[in-house]
Amino acid sequence: MDQRLADVLAVLELETLEVNLFRGESRDIGSPQVFGGQVLGQALVAAYRTVEGRVCHSLHAYFLRRGDFNAPIVYQVDRSRDGHGFSSRRVVAIQHGEQIFHMSCSFQVPEPGLEHQAPMPDVPPPESLTNFESYAEEILAELPEKVRPFFQHRRPFELRPVTQRDYLNPKPEPPLRYVWLRAVDQVPSDEDRLHRCLLAYVSDYNLLETATLPHGCTFQQLQAASIDHAMWFHRPFRADEWLLYAVDSPSASGARGLARGSLYARDGRLVASVAQEGLMRLRGPGPLGVTIEPVAPTR
């Protein structure tokens, strides 16, 4: 197995401390704090540990504080309710004695019902596109030193954007992105819950960045962080097969940007929907020649 995939699977393998209490380790992916997708995926793993015979169909989470990737994270699960067809869980992530994240999620006994979905966008296939890592290697030397670790990080998912953003000289463009993604190797399990946890992990990529596209901002001009994250799982899928992530941003205001994402399997099935609002705070020289005073690195 590719070491990158093996590593993320190890990160999602939580240690059981007590009933409803779990502990997870973190990884440095080159960002100042723990990657939000990691916390999301681990929290979903913790919730799944308390449920049998049901699949997660939705989750709603808030990121409260920056996570420290040098310290473990403890996940406490509240078994809010187990009904005939649905179960509800609340997960709180704790680090250094403080809550850094909390999530509510709902599980359902699988059952048939009415079906419809939005059509999959018509975009080029992944085989015709360049891997993001290849592009990152080409521009690495020209990037600011503080953001290079993020671009150097070897991700457990292969990302192939339909249109590659110019990170060196960003120009205003429509808030819309299409990115093909899949795990870098075959996932050694057919368990639906594992594939949903992996998709929760990777769903944090590309969202907030899409909300910045109309403004042509550079890394030095923005303080960005996820505030909340919602996700709905519609249909079964595999995280190691190509999925199209179609992301748009309908609004940015009040130093916050909203992004929405739809994830499609290659056969056109809509497998999941995502929404996220994030902090987009200007600092330093702003776009359109406006100078913004620096702000403290807190929410």
- 257: which strand partners? 252, 278
Q: What is the mean pLDDT of the segment spanning 83-91? A: 97
What pLDDT does residue 201 have?
Answer: 97
In contact, 44 and 94? CB cutoff 8 Å: no
Over 90: is that where the pLDDT of 168 sits?
A: no
- Cα–Cα distance, 42 to 36 (Å, whole number): 10
Over 90: is that where the pLDDT of 144 sits?
A: no
What pLDDT does residue 149 have?
Answer: 81
Report the range of poorest mean pLDDT among 7-11, 31-35, 150-154: 150-154
How many other C-beta atoms are found inside a 10 Å radius of the C-beta of residue 99? 13
Half-sphere exposure of 123 (CA within 13 A, CB side): 25
Tell me the one-letter amino acid at 299: R
Continuous segment of H or E residues that includes residue 287: none
The three-state secondary structure class of 156 is: coil
What pLDDT does residue 298 have?
Answer: 35
202 backbone φψ class: left, alpha, beta (φ>0; ψ -120 to 50): alpha
Residues contacting 241, CB < 8 A, separation 6+: 182, 265, 266
What pLDDT does residue 284 have?
Answer: 59
Exposure of 50 by Cβ count < 10 A (0-12 exposed, 13-18 middle, 19+ buried)? Answer: middle
Q: Give pTM, 2 decimals.
A: 0.91
In contact, 100 and 67? CB cutoff 8 Å: yes
Place of tokens 């093909």: 180
Q: 36-48 and 192-202 helices cross at what angle (nearest 10)?
A: 160
How many other C-beta atoms are found inside a 10 Å radius of the C-beta of residue 146? 11
Dihedral sign for Cα 210, 215, 218, 222, please: negative
- Cα–Cα distance, 214 to 212 (Å, whole number): 6
With cut-offs at 50, 70 and 90, classify the pLDDT of residue 200: very high
- Among 2.40.160.210, 3.40.50.10790, 3.10.350.10, 2.60.40.1120, name the CATH number for the domain at 3-109+131-292: 2.40.160.210
What pLDDT does residue 292 have?
Answer: 32
- Cα–Cα distance, 269 to 117 (Å, whole number): 8
In contact, 24 and 69? CB cutoff 8 Å: no
Report DSSP state, residue 60.
E
Over 70: is that where the pLDDT of 180 sits?
A: yes
For the record, the structure tokens of 256 come out as 């916050």
Over 70: is that where the pLDDT of 50 sits?
A: yes
Report DSSP state, residue 179.
E
With cut-offs at 50, 70 and 90, classify the pLDDT of residue 278: very high
132 backbone φψ class: left, alpha, beta (φ>0; ψ -120 to 50): alpha
Report the range of poorest mean pLDDT among 13-27, 82-96, 157-171: 157-171
For the record, the structure tokens of 79 come out as 């078994």
User: For residue range 219-271, what is the model confidence (pLDDT) as tens digits?
Assistant: 678 888 999 999 999 999 999 999 999 999 999 999 999 999 999 999 999 99
User: For residue range 53-86, what is the model confidence (pLDDT) as tens digits?
Assistant: 999 999 999 999 999 989 999 999 999 999 999 9
CA-closest candidate to residue 3, choices 204, 169, 135, 156:
156
Catalytic residues: 204, 226, 276
